[in-house]
Amino acid sequence: LRASFAPKAQKTNQNLHQHHFQPQASYKVAVLGAAGGIGQPLSLLIKMSPLVSVLHLYDVANVKGVAADLSHCNTPSQVMDFTGASELANALKGIDVVVIPAGVPRKPGMTRDDLFNINAGIVRDLVSAVADNCPDAFIHIISNPVNSTVPIAAEVLKQKGVYDPKKLFGVTTLDVVRANTFVAQKKNLKLIDVDVPVVGGHAGITILPLLSKTKPTVSFTDEEIEQLTVRIQNAGTEVVEAKAGAGSATLSMAYAAARFVESSLRALDGDGDVYECTFVQSEVTELPFFASRVKLGRKGVEAFITSDLQGLSEYEQKAVEALKPELKASIEKGIDFASKQA
Ligand code: NAI
């Protein structure tokens, strides 16, 4: 499983790593919203990780059965269930990585911002509990609109005096996963080799695949660039419409989130070769938050890979400027929400 999440170049490194150090199953992960469409398959994938010793599943309902079911898999981690606000603190104590896919998903015709009114409060309350019970944990925010929920989480952590910007992540891995898949299909490349950085944010035009930075080096016509960019930006909507009211992307999202969890655990475990695109507090642009490729280490974000944003094509330069007003507004909406509550 570890190998299947990692780009080829990192696989050799991981195998070596495994050989020399025999990774211990030692990290504790909590999933908040574990009974949901994303939460269930994500919990299954995390249950398969050899780096996890304890898996805490939290939801407001229906989580007992999910935990009982998963606990029968003969993989190392011990699964425990927690239901409702009164059990939230115990779900979080001692946790190293908290993943938050709690909240409502989109229905056809909705934008991610339409989810704001419900999900903003859910993220605020869950992150507040994280601040009280496991302030040193890596926090992975999946709940949309990520462009606003991450700034909300940052404000809540600041209000509690425990904000570490290196450890708060908006999960944008699905945008990278989609970009890699669509580019490999279009250019007939071996999937495992393809790596496209995706920057900006996680909604509509704020999702910007940097196709000029695709590895391996590949050239696109202007028409291909336009088509691929728009498809990657609208891929979530493609799924929402295909599911026709039954939810948004859950399986591909679970896959992507599990990859981000595995990367975080490898970083915590001392692997010096872990890179992911993610929406974080950033000085890469003038905006306070921006998704870009970062190097992950034991303490979270260790470095920003700014070279991705240098030498962009004209199309990409324009797209970066075009996305900034929307991204800025979504960030400010999140900050406003959190400061009004304080
Ligand atoms: P879902 O409705 O199937 O599951 C959500 C789960 O959250 C439910 O089990 C619900 O009981 C739980 N929940 C609600 N309030 C809660 C609370 N206060 N505490 C704990 N759990 C709570 O939704 P789905 O499809 O799993 O999506 C979840 C979120 O992920 C949505 O906001 C969706 O927009 C977002 N999403 C993000 C993506 C990304 O790339 N970052 C991609 C796809 C979805």
Q: Which residue has better confidence, 70 or 9?
A: 70
The residue behind tokens 């202007």 is 222
Say if ligand 1 is within 6 A of residue 145 CB. Answer: no
pLDDT at position 17 over 50:
no
Each residue's pLDDT tens digit, 29-40: 999 999 999 999
Q: Which atom of ligand 1 is nearest to the CA of 247?
A: 25
Each residue's pLDDT tens digit, 228-260: 999 999 999 999 999 999 999 999 999 999 999
Say if ligand 1 is within 6 A of residue 141 CB. Answer: no
Q: Is the dihedral of CA 207, 210, 214, 218 positive or negative?
A: positive
Say if ligand 1 is within 6 A of residue 130 CB. Answer: no
pLDDT band at residue 23 using 50, 70 and 90 as cut-offs: low
Ligand 1: distance of its center to the CA of 171 in Å?
13
Question: How far is the C-alpha of 50 from the C-alpha of 73, rounded, in Å?
Answer: 13
What the block records as the tokens of 146 is 């990520």
pLDDT in the model for residue 252: 98
The angle at the Cα of 314, spanning 309 to 319, to the nearest 5 degrees, equals: 70
Q: Which atom of ligand 1 is nearest to the CA of 122?
A: 18
Q: Centre a 10 Å sphere on the Cβ of residue 232 and count the other Cβ atoms it contains.
A: 23
Ligand 1: distance of its center to the CA of 190 in Å?
32
pLDDT at position 10 over 80:
no
* For residues 196-205, average pLDDT: 98
Catalytic residue flag (residue 20): no
pLDDT in the model for residue 24: 62
Q: How big is the chain, counted in residues?
A: 342
Share of the chain above pLDDT 70, in %: 92
pLDDT in the model for residue 18: 47
Tell me: cis bond preceding 216? Omega within 30 of 0 counts: yes
Ligand 1: distance of its center to the CA of 105 in Å?
6
pLDDT at position 14 over 60:
no
Say if ligand 1 is within 6 A of residue 143 CB. Answer: yes
Q: What is the ipTM of this complex?
A: 0.99
Say if ligand 1 is within 6 A of residue 121 CB. Answer: no
Q: Centre a 10 Å sphere on the Cβ of residue 309 and count the other Cβ atoms it contains.
A: 20
At 43, give phi and psi (nearest 5°). -65, -40
- Cβ contact 107:39 at 8 Å: no
Q: Which atom of ligand 1 is nearest to the CA of 142?
A: 41
Among 12-16, 106-110, 115-119, 173-177, whose mean pLDDT is lowest? 12-16
pLDDT in the model for residue 323: 98
Say if ligand 1 is within 6 A of residue 101 CB. Answer: yes
Closest by alpha carbon to 184, among 149, 147, 214, 157? 214
- Please provide the average confidence, as pLDDT, over all residues in the chain: 93
Question: How far is the C-alpha of 29 from the C-alpha of 261, rounded, in Å?
Answer: 9
Q: Give nearest CA residue, ligand 1 atom 27.
A: 105
Each residue's pLDDT tens digit, 291-340: 999 999 999 999 999 999 999 999 999 999 999 999 999 999 999 999 98
